[in-house]
Structure 1
């Protein structure tokens, strides 16, 4: 089932997500719905809070070299914790909750991620490049933060002005 995606400036996006403790059929169905929602919106990542569920769950499906996403590349990440971040990289990010806007954001170039899968099994993932960036972007959502909050004061003010203008034009 495709779920509605919450968009900025909805205050729900500021909610800090809670740890997942039940790894049951309800969670599995929700993760499946998140995947369907993300794919129907042409996203590469989705945090549960973006679909109004404040639990520490994210999904990612990084495109291959041809730009195609395959379900076998789907990563379901529950209760993520970043370890050993290294380096910095600037990457132009977008967000399903801030549609139509892209800005350069500084992130760690690589990291090690500890998390649980949909069955509650502990996992470790070493991520670099786009996967590392997407993980950090989605974990920010779990903390109630959006990528636009990482912008400089000037760039943030410019974004706010452009976003308000775009919202008026939609009406």
Structure 2
């Protein structure tokens, strides 16, 4: 919310009968407004020009003091960043160069945990246009297995 509204602010005690003026504000000084201490670290170019025209000699700007909360938040955000940022890849170029090109691999899945322990033949398609794969199972005639169109639908696989 609003900390200070636009009005004349009295100086801190023992000068509470006087008010802040333009002469009380400069870079690298502390100002006490209603028992709260504020340090002026810098100002914008318009304010610098205005104060110079008024004859005020400005102090050099100072660095912003460290904020423990901001530091802690930055550490948390940095820990969430990937160690190796993802490179932007020109996917349109890749799509146009490799559209319709598919690598086909014949595979065997030998699952010792299955009930009948029979190897299953698969065909893996790698689509060069968008780096996706799908896997289809080759089901022999009269094998007793239900014919399903896809073993794994076309999708990107994580590394």
TM-score, with structure 1 as normaliser: 0.20
TM-score, with structure 2 as normaliser: 0.21
**Structure number with higher relative contact order (C-alpha < 8 Å, ≥ 6 residues apart):** 1
Higher Rg of the two aligned structures? 2
Structure with higher helix content: 1
Structure with higher strand content: 1
